[in-house]
Structure 1
Amino acid sequence: MPLPFMTAAGQSGAAEHTDRDLQSPLPHDVREHWRRPYRPGPWRVGGAAVLLLLASYMLFSALIIALAGSVTGALVCLVAALAVIALALRLLRVGVWVSAYGLRRVGLLTTVTLGWHEVAAVRTVQQPVRWLGLPRTVQGQALDVVRAGDGEALRTLLTDHNADFLARPEAFDRAADVIETWAAESRAGA
């Protein structure tokens, strides 16, 4: 995933990029690439950072155990650290991804991909939503997708109380609008 904001070219074109974002809801020239139409939220990034910190401690302990002479203990610690690193990376990929081909909902353990021809509607609804994915529910907004064939609703894509949008209602509104625009333009073009 390119990070243009970390390069000198990204710094010089930052004002130009934001102007282009304001003009078009779909600022990407290459529509075939899968992209997340919003940035990961601070809760998601913070959780992944904590997991990576834990993994660094586990790797350091694997080194100490290996120097102490227990190779099997060091290997167990190394494998556990690699599993935590994989979990942190997967946590960062969780979310909604769009392209010209369709809509992809990436979860921690599963991924569901729908072609635009399979999507009947993408809409924002008011409903009880889970707070940070925990069992506690609060009243909020959710972005739902209805399948074209059977009218069955896909599991909620985004909520304004998940790890990406908690305490950032404007970011949720922008992301929901962009995803709805992708759906409308892609269904109209198909």
Structure 2
Amino acid sequence: MPLPFLTADGVSDADDDSDEVLAHPDHDRWRRPYRPGPWRVAIAALLLLLSAFMLLATMIVAFAGGWRGAAVCLVAALAVVGSAVQTLRMGVWVSRTGMRRVGFLSARTVAWSEIAEFRTVQQPVRWLGLPRTVQGQALTVSGRGGTELPVLLTDHNADFLLRAEAFDRAADTLAAWADAYRPVPA
């Protein structure tokens, strides 16, 4: 079963050195321009393992005759499965229409025409999304009119921790998407 949210533009490992950044046929579909990192995948895998135990508990409670308790266990297990899927979906997605930053509970879409520039800056960043901050790189976006949008990517998030080359490649790819679809100012 194909899992499109786990692939980066449908690119295989053999295609990592390709020169064409936007080399996929359908630019209208929302795509993540980078692969999810091992930390993000590990967190999702642990959540799915937890949900398997919760579903086993649901079955045991149902066989014991506690239908109300089984329903509560089933709802909790489905919430954990949904959390695992949403954890894998988190990140920056791009299409011909714009850029979408997907968080755990929210998503924000910005049209390419609203983006002035991308910058990679050194600043305190959150380590794996936790409250603890460390010095690192962040990819920021400034909108037209000088508005600052939230930080898109950091080199210490679940996708790029200990993968500096992948962070640089993702930042370059996002800039290439912006250059390809941002209207030229008159």
TM-score by length of 2: 0.90
Deviation digits for residues 23-52 of structure 1 (CA, Å, limit 9, x no counterpart)? 212222211111000000010000000000
Check conservation: 1:120, 1:147, Cα contact below 8 A: yes
For 1:14 and 1:112, the matched residues in 2 are separated by: 28
Deviation digits for residues 53-78 of structure 1 (CA, Å, limit 9, x no counterpart)? 00000000000000001000000000
Deviation digits for residues 99-151 of structure 1 (CA, Å, limit 9, x no counterpart)? 11000000000000011111111121111111111111111111111111x32
Question: SS of 1:38's equivalent?
Answer: coil
Match of 1:111 among 107, 112, 120: 107
Instruction: State the match for 2:165 in structure 1.
Output: 170
1:160 correspondence with 2:182: no
Check conservation: 2:113, 2:183, Cα contact below 8 A: no
Match of 1:91 among 87, 90, 97: 87
1:71 correspondence with 2:67: yes
Check conservation: 1:128, 1:138, Cα contact below 8 A: yes
Match of 1:120 among 110, 116, 119: 116
Question: SS of 1:22's equivalent?
Answer: coil
Unaligned runs of 5+ in 2: 5-9
| 1:131-146 alignment runs, 5 A limit | 131-146=127-142
Question: SS of 2:92's equivalent?
Answer: strand
Question: SS of 1:96's equivalent?
Answer: strand
For 2:116 and 2:19, the matched residues in 1 are separated by: 27
Match of 2:175 among 152, 168, 180: 180
Question: SS of 2:161's equivalent?
Answer: coil
Q: Which residue identity is paired with 2:180? A: E
* Deviation (angstroms), 1:153: 1.0
Check conservation: 1:123, 1:180, Cα contact below 8 A: no
Q: What is the percentage of aligned positions where both structures have the same residue?
A: 60
Unaligned runs of 5+ in 1: 5-9
Question: SS of 1:58's equivalent?
Answer: helix
Question: SS of 2:41's equivalent?
Answer: helix
Q: Whose helix fraction is larger, Structure 1's or Structure 2's?
A: 1
Q: Which residue identity is paired with 2:15? A: T
* Deviation (angstroms), 1:14: 5.5
Size of the aligned set, in residue pairs, is: 180
Which moved further from structure 2: 170-179 or 22-31?
Answer: 22-31
